[in-house]
Structure 1
Amino acid sequence: MMMFRSILFVIWMYGLMAVLGLLALPALLLPKSVTFWAISLYARGLIWGLKVFCGISVEIRGRQNMPRGTVLYAGKHNCMLDVFIPFLVMPAPAIILKQELMWYPFLGWYALKAAMIPIDRAGNTRTLKKMVAAARERADDGRQIVIFPEGTRTVPGAEPAYHAAGISALAKGIEAPILPVATNAGLCWPGRGVKRSKGTIIYEILPPIPAGLPRKELMSRLQSELETASDALVAEGRTVQGRLAH
């Protein structure tokens, strides 16, 4: 039964993307704020679909920790939903994403209009410099920069593998506080496969880490705070799933 419900959700997810993508086409000719609104509407649609089709609730905690102005949002990355949550908590996020996504119908069109930051994940020092320069340009426009420090989706509880070069270069380049965002999303929405599991997805915005810290201290603090909070959310999420199973 859960597989059937999960398939219905996947149909909803991509069907909604196509419908909204077509209906919002005029946004591509309008100010970026309209595009941000359209993406946030899609994010809310995903959350609605998770609840209706899969029995999955989504909760966002710690909104009071969100500073005003430019910030470097550093999120734990479990699944596709993580990419859309910033549009529900920030006015104008600029997400660092793999460049292949820019070729996807709808997704790529709106990412291009919203001036996201595509990168070659197999790139070199030159790629890093281009990413930092693009992030600085977006930050100068008052945007919020979003990066997933591990660079790819991970399984809840997996050994962390943070890429220090990218996030420390960004932190130095845009001179903004770092905002760790923990999650247990992978318990309900695995990074691979179709099947979803009932439960509660929680995103927790942690207190910001001040700008200007030495690289080693920054990475140690970021990883410690993000992993500790995410582990706590995973434990909480498994408790909820255990109750739902009875």
Structure 2
Amino acid sequence: MLAIRSALFNIAWYVNIIVQMIVQAPFYFFLKHETALSVPRRWAHTSHFLHKWLAGTVHDIQGIENVPDGGCIIASKHQSVWEFYSLYALLKDPCFVLKAELMKIPFFGWYVAKVNQIPIRRGDKSKAMRKMLADSKVAVDGDRQILIFPEGTRRQPGAEPNYRYGVTRMYLECNCPVVPVALTSGLFWPRRKFLRYPGKLRARFLEPIMPGLSAEEFSAELERRIEEACDQLYLETSLDPVHPPLNDAVKARIEIAKKRNEELKTNA
């Protein structure tokens, strides 16, 4: 049954995005920026519907009230395709930092270009960093929310953190709040795997890290907040009556979360 539901969802998910891009293309590129943003949001909402009714995965997204009204950076854990479109749909005027190669995909790349995202060409790292920082400053000054994955690429749930310096440079350059995001999407939508597991997929927007920290202080605080929150979300997932398989790394992180919770109770 799991394989059948996964197959149905995967087929429906791809058909959904292809059909929506083709059907909406004749008028999408003539829309104003604010109106054009409703198109990827519609895709996200229909994808959530398919995820729930075909794969049995419900979404529990918490803490969206922690996102400031003005320009800011959303620094999210990255475990699957899910957060690429789901987090985007929650924000007022989101702006993704993404690989420039994605812009070359027919239709998809054209849609992305329409809503002014920040593509990164990884060949010349110093030049790419300078352009990313300049584009990010423009976006924040325009009251947009920049979505960035601090580890750069998808990571397995429970894997050792590998936070890169780009988000720290962006924090220092833009001088704006950074909202960390923890999630469990990789448990339900595993990387490079066919199966899509049922249960409650959680994402949590944490309290923003305000400007004023040094590079070292910010990097440490961002990693600590995201990783500890992910540990807690893994623990909550393990207590659900229905949840996906938990690998050894996630189980170890759950034990860390339990010990941390006990220490907090003792010190309260």
> What's the TM-score once normalised by structure 1's chain length?
0.94
- The corresponding residue for 1:204 is 204
CA distance in structure 2 between the aligned counterparts of 1:138 and 1:161, rounded to whole angstroms? 26
Q: Which residue of 2 aligns with 1:69?
A: 70
Q: Residue 47 of structure 1 corresponds to which residue in structure 2? A: 48
- 1:168 partnered with 2:168: yes
Q: What are the ranges of 5 or more consecutive residues in structure 1 without an aligned counterpart?
A: none
Is the CA contact 2:12–2:50 (under 8 Å) kept in the aligned structure 1? yes
Q: Match of 2:239?
A: 239
Percent identity reads: 33
Q: Which residue of 2 aligns with 1:120?
A: 121
1:61 and 1:139 mapped to 2: Cα distance?
23
Instruction: Tell me, yes or no, if the aligned pair for 1:199 and 1:244 is still in contact at 8 Å.
Output: yes
What's the offset of the Cα at 1:4? Answer: 1.7
Q: Aligned partners of 1:138, 1:58: CA distance in 2, in Å?
A: 29
The whole-number CA distance in structure 1 between the counterparts of 2:150 and 2:70 is: 21
**Could you report, residue by residue, the CA deviation over 1:91-123 in whole angstroms, capped at 9, with x for unpaired residues?**
111100111111123321111101111112454
**Which 10-residue stretch deviates more, 99-108 or 127-136?**
99-108
Per the alignment, residue 182 of structure 2 pairs with: 182
d(CA) in 2 for partners of 1:230, 1:13 = 26
- What is the rounded CA distance, in whole Å, between the counterparts of 2:155 and 2:142 in structure 1? 31
Aligned residues: 244
Asked if structure 2 preserves the Cα contact closer than 8 Å seen for 1:171 and 1:212, the reply is no
Question: Cα distance, 1:242 vs. partner?
Answer: 4.9
Moved over 6 A (4+): none
Larger Rg: 2
State the alpha-carbon separation in 2 of the partners of residues 121 and 239 from structure 1: 41
1:111 aligns with 2:134: no
Superposition map of 1:5-84 within 5 A? 5-25=5-25, 26-84=27-85
Residue in 2 aligned with 1:214? Answer: 214
| Deviation (angstroms), 1:244 | 8.3
Aligned amino acid, residue 214 of structure 2: P
Q: Which runs of 5+ in 2 are unaligned?
A: 246-268
**Given that residues 180 and 225 in structure 1 are in contact (C-alpha distance below 8 angstroms), is that contact kept between their aligned partners in structure 2?**
yes
Report the RMSD for the aligned CA atoms in angstroms: 1.6
